[in-house]
């Protein structure tokens, strides 16, 4: 008998990588306003050590809100490259 | 305890005696009396939990949650109510939850009709549930207890289907199994995997194209195999009560030349027709199918060898062969039976009385069989 279930924390193991588009962040243009971080519905964007936006595309759903909201136009949605 | 009572009330009392943890009902004719009587028991403190939900979709959803948390559950419904449960039925079987449901089978609108046939239950035949069609009050109450045994052993939900009105509202003598007897037959439900705050899991999770088909294959395999558990549950029930029903009842079929196959309460009228024709020396028989899912292909084909067979459906699949006929015609090869006929009748509460069955046997004799009988 196979029961479809999962234990907590499995998303750490199973990276979804489902979207076709992912954000491409131009860190030189980033003004560190954190709007993209606040608006990302999947909490994929964080500051790097230099306080510039950085996306973890493993969980990005490709909605494009970050690119839309960025006041410095530092984010563009580009095709995901499968490694 | 032996009583003369309405079938619905007997079913409710049996469910209560099975000691369920959670019941969730949304009343709909003709299953209402079962839900009402269970609510009575709850009001008297004889049932632990009874949720009055706002729809049948919610009733089945509530049971999915309760069952996933390890509870023994029950609901009852009919017709449009069962159709509203449809999507949740697939989730219940997919998550392997041992839910037991009584369906008072009824026609489906439009046109609006509250009376009995098998259209609603037949529309759920691919939902991954075991389906048992019962023929009288005793069969109904015994099948409810057996259903818990089968469901909790195989982890496949079971739908017990009884004809709306023709069975549910009939008053007849019935031996209602008491709590002590059921306790002996039915061990407490223990689920290996359940929702538990101490050990959290998610049930019914996402399966990608790589995995999904394996789950469906597993369910299909297990339902096919469940035929052994159904037989075993029936045999064990015989040991404690002396009553058993088998996968089907073959009435005077052994030496018969012509056999009618039907399901449910109205099929018993066929016995009277068989008795009548046997007195005249005609070799006729009646097969009343009880277990429709899993379908007993092998067992049925064995008893039908070399006979003329007429399949009498109480539901249709518009634009195709009717459900029971298409299964039987898959069970037997054209070489193994002499002839195979399909007739549809008794829809929307139309009475399939003894005369109708006499007509069916007459049609077979003359070889002039029409698709519909009125």
Cα distances from B158 to residues B21, B50, B57, B73, B273, in angstroms, run 17, 20, 17, 11, 32
Instruction: Give the 3-state secondary structure of residue B52.
Output: strand
Per-residue pLDDT of chain B (374 residues; tens, 9 = 90+): 899 999 999 999 999 999 999 999 999 999 999 999 999 999 999 999 999 999 999 999 999 999 999 999 999 999 999 999 999 999 999 999 999 999 999 999 999 999 999 999 999 999 999 999 999 999 999 999 999 999 999 999 999 999 999 999 999 999 999 999 999 999 999 998 999 999 999 999 989 899 999 999 999 999 999 999 999 999 999 999 999 999 999 999 999 999 999 999 999 999 999 999 999 999 999 999 999 999 999 999 999 999 999 999 999 999 999 999 999 999 998 779 999 999 999 999 999 999 999 999 999 999 999 999 99
Return the CATH number of the domain spanning residue range A17-79: 3.30.70.20
CA distance B314 to B123: 12
Other Cβ atoms closer than 10 A to B36: 14
Tokens coding B239: 């040991």
Pairing state between β B339-344 and B308-313: parallel
Homologous superfamily (CATH) of B2-241 is Thiamin diphosphate (ThDP)-binding fold, Pyr/PP domains (3.40.50.970)
Q: Which B positions 144-163 lie with beta carbon below 8 A of chain A?
A: 155
Q: Which of A63, A57, A55, A62 is nearest to A30 (CA)?
A: A55
- Note whether A2 contacts B: Cβ–Cβ < 8 A: yes
* Domain B248-366, CATH number (from 3.40.50.720, 3.40.50.920, 3.30.70.2200, 3.10.350.10): 3.40.50.920
In chain B, which segments carry CATH 3.40.50.920?
Answer: 248-366
- Note whether A73 contacts B: Cβ–Cβ < 8 A: no
Pairing state between β B291-293 and B130-133: antiparallel
Cα distances from B45 to residues B39, B41, B135, B237, in angstroms, run 10, 6, 31, 28
- Note whether A8 contacts B: Cβ–Cβ < 8 A: yes
Residue B93's contacts (CB-CB under 8 Å, 6 or more residues apart) are B127, B128, B129, B156, B157, B219
Q: What is the pTM for the complete model shown?
A: 0.90
The shortest CB-CB distance from B201 to any of A1, A2, A6 is to A6
B299 burial (CB, 10 Å; 0-12 / 13-18 / 19+) is middle
């Amino acid at each position: 008998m196979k029961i479809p279930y999962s234990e907590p924390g499995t998303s750490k193991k199973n990276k979804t990588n489902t979207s076709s588009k992912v954000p491409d962040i131009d860190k030189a243009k980033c003004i560190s306003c954190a709007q993209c971080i606040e608006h990302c519905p999947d909490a994929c964007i964080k500051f790097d050590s230099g306080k510039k936006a950085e996306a973890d595309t493993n969980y990005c759903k490709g909605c494009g809100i970050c690119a839309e909201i960025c006041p410095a136009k530092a984010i563009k949605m580009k095709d995901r490259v499968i490694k | 305890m032996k009583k003369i009572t309405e079938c619905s009330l007997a079913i409710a009392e049996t469910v209560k005696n099975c000691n369920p943890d959670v019941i969730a009902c949304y009343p709909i004719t003709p299953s209402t009396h079962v839900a009402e009587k269970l609510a009575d028991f709850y009001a008297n403190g004889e049932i632990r939990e009874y949720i009055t939900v706002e729809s049948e979709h919610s009733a089945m959803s509530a049971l999915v949650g309760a069952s996933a948390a390890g509870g023994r559950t029950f609901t009852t419904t009919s017709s449009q109510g069962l159709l509203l449960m449809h999507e949740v039925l697939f989730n219940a079987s997919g998550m392997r939850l041992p839910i037991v449901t009584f369906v008072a089978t009824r026609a489906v609108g439009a046109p609006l009709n509250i009376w009995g046939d098998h259209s609603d239950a037949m529309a759920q035949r691919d939902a991954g549930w075991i389906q048992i069609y019962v023929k009288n009050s005793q069969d109904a109450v015994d099948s409810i207890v057996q259903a818990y045994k089968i469901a909790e052993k195989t982890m496949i939900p079971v739908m017990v289907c009884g004809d709306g009105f023709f069975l549910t509202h009939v008053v007849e003598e019935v031996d209602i199994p008491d709590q002590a007897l059921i306790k002996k037959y039915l061990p407490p439900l223990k689920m290996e995997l359940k929702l538990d705050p101490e050990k959290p899991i998610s049930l019914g999770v996402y399966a990608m194209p790589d995995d999904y088909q394996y789950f469906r294959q597993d369910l299909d395999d297990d339902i096919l195999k469940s035929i052994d558990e159904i037989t075993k549950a029936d045999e064990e029930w015989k040991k404690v009560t002396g009553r058993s029903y088998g996968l089907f009842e073959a009435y005077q079929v052994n030496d018969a030349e012509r056999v009618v196959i039907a399901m449910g309460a109205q099929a018993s009228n066929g016995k009277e027709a068989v008795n009548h024709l046997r007195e005249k020396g005609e070799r006729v028989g009646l097969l009343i199918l009880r277990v429709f899912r899993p379908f007993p292909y092998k067992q049925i084909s064995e008893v039908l060898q070399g006979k003329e067979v007429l399949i009498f459906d109480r539901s249709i699949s518009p634009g195709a062969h009717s459900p029971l006929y298409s299964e039987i015609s898959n069970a037997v090869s054209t070489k193994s039976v002499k002839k195979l006929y399909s007739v549809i009748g008794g829809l929307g509460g139309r009475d399939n009385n003894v005369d109708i069955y006499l007509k069916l046997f007459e049609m077979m004799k003359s070889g002039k069989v029409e698709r519909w009988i009125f």
